[in-house]
Amino acid sequence: MIALVDCNSFYASCEKVFRPDLQDKPVVVLSNNDGCIVAMSKEAKDLGIKRGAPLFKCRQQLKDQESLCFSSNYTLYQDLSNRVMALLARETSHIEVYSIDEAFLSVDSPPSATREWGLEIIKIISQNLGIPVSVGVGRSKTLAKAAATLAKKSPQGYFAMLPSMEERVLKEIPVHKIWGIGPSKADYLLSRSILTAWDLRNMDDWDVKKTMTLVTLKTLWELRGKPSIEDEDPQTDKKGILSSLGFSSPIKEKQELQRAVASYMSRAVRKLWSQNSQTSNVTVFIMTNRFKENYYFKEYSQRLENPSSYLPELIKAALNCLEHLFIRGLEYHKAGVLLHGITPEASVQLDLFSERNNSRDRISLVVKEMEQRYGRDILKPLASAMEDRWAMKRELLSPAYTTCWEELPRVY
């Protein structure tokens, strides 16, 4: 069995962890550049506020309810996400971190103990981090995903779709609600009177393969309880460092994508620093939702002249890769940075300009120290800082509670 653990209203939940005054208040989180709502708490959902709505449309409504708007604080969300995933990894033999707020876990416990295991996970994440999660269990990822949707509606946040329940449950799920069935596929299926997940499950393999795509065929197998969708991250060689995550809502703007890639690179470089090593290759990949029409996945690699662990240089390389990948008009779902050709710092040949390298090392050290003292954004490569048109929205940004000594939560 496979479990999907999904953080409830993740960004909004993160904002609440260090704000006890907001516990039962509506909270919404905005995208950084266009002022649209990308996430909201349960209380905000109950007000009828919709994801993707521009802030100005619901400003008055939010004001009346004493609710709070936040600008996306990715530093905070990423730190809490890392902690969630670290705790989850302790509860399973295999974890696939699917996005910043979701992970697939293989269920190792016997069927009779699965419920207990799922409820224990909910309790652990809630107690240790204050983040509410729900757990859906099924025989495949697609079934686990469907179960997780039902789990969100159950009071305990847990739902297992046992094989014996599949028929009853799948007959209740409209076809467009299935993971991987986008609007146009759903329209096509509806036109053929395939209305529910159960109808799709019972379609003929050849029919699906002929009239739709292999991806849909896999979805069909998954609905039958046969795991067919493999892990999403590209295979990395053992010496590689991968930093990649799905976005919680799709990104269209190049600028936003650049910021994501730069931040993934910062994470990867931190790993590099912690291993005292350098990298000689940078690969960046971006992808759209693979279940949607015109699925786009592309990666681009750049070899560095000299192995490096110098953040600005590596960010520059990553952004250069992105130039070769980005196509306007697509909705990107995931991006990642891969460092490979990693060597220990000591074994890197010193070139004639080793003096320059020394000054770079010193810069890296200063950056590390400044960031810990004053926060991630105190120093940044000029290129990305110049493009920071969203700086004026900073009044909505919550502190980097967990990653900056100057911004720790206060206790009285």
Among left, alpha and beta (phi > 0; psi -120 to 50; other), residue 196 is: beta
For another protein, which residue of 252, 254, 270, 360 counts as binding (CB under 8 A)?
270
**Which part of the chain contacts another protein (CB under 8 A), choosing from 80-88, 168-176, 217-225, 312-320?**
80-88
Applying CB under 8 A, does 21 fall inside the site for another protein?
yes
Minimum CB–partner distance for residue 369 and another protein (Å) = 8
Minimum CB–partner distance for residue 354 and another protein (Å) = 24
**DSSP class per residue in 266-310:** HHHHHHHHHTTEEEEEEEEEEEE-TTSTT--EEEEEEEEEEEE--
**Which part of the chain contacts another protein (CB under 8 A), choosing from 223-231, 302-310, 326-334, 404-412?**
404-412
Please say whether the beta carbons of 378 and 385 come within 8 A.
Answer: no
**Which part of the chain contacts another protein (CB under 8 A), choosing from 15-23, 56-64, 298-306, 339-347?**
15-23
For another protein, which residue of 127, 164, 235, 294 counts as binding (CB under 8 A)?
127
Applying CB under 8 A, does 83 fall inside the site for another protein?
yes
Q: CA 207, CA 163: separation in Å to the nearest integer?
A: 25
- Looking at the Cβ atoms of 19 and 254, the one nearer to another protein is 19
Applying CB under 8 A, does 42 fall inside the site for another protein?
no
**Which part of the chain contacts another protein (CB under 8 A), choosing from 6-14, 38-46, 47-55, 128-136?**
128-136
Minimum CB–partner distance for residue 283 and another protein (Å) = 23
How crowded is the C-beta side of 368, counted as CA atoms within 13 Å? 15
Applying CB under 8 A, does 275 fall inside the site for another protein?
no
Applying CB under 8 A, does 409 fall inside the site for another protein?
yes
Applying CB under 8 A, does 411 fall inside the site for another protein?
yes
Q: CA 76, CA 78: separation in Å to the nearest integer?
A: 5
Which residues are registered as beta bridge partners of 334? 246, 287
Q: CA 21, CA 43: separation in Å to the nearest integer?
A: 14
Q: Is 167 helix (H, G, I), strand (E, B) or coil?
A: helix
| Interface size with another protein, residues (CB under 8 A) | 26
By CB under 8 A, the residues from 357 to 396 that bind another protein are 368-369, 372
Applying CB under 8 A, does 408 fall inside the site for another protein?
yes
Q: CA 176, CA 200: separation in Å to the nearest integer?
A: 11
What are the distances in angstroms from CA 77 to CA 80, 83, 399? Answer: 5, 10, 11
Chain centroid offset of residue 28 CA = 18
For another protein, which residue of 87, 151, 197, 286 counts as binding (CB under 8 A)?
87
Chain centroid offset of residue 158 CA = 21
Applying CB under 8 A, does 23 fall inside the site for another protein?
yes
Contacts with another protein, residue ranges (CB under 8 A): 18, 20-23, 83, 86-87, 127-130, 270, 273-274, 368-369, 372, 401-402, 405, 408-412
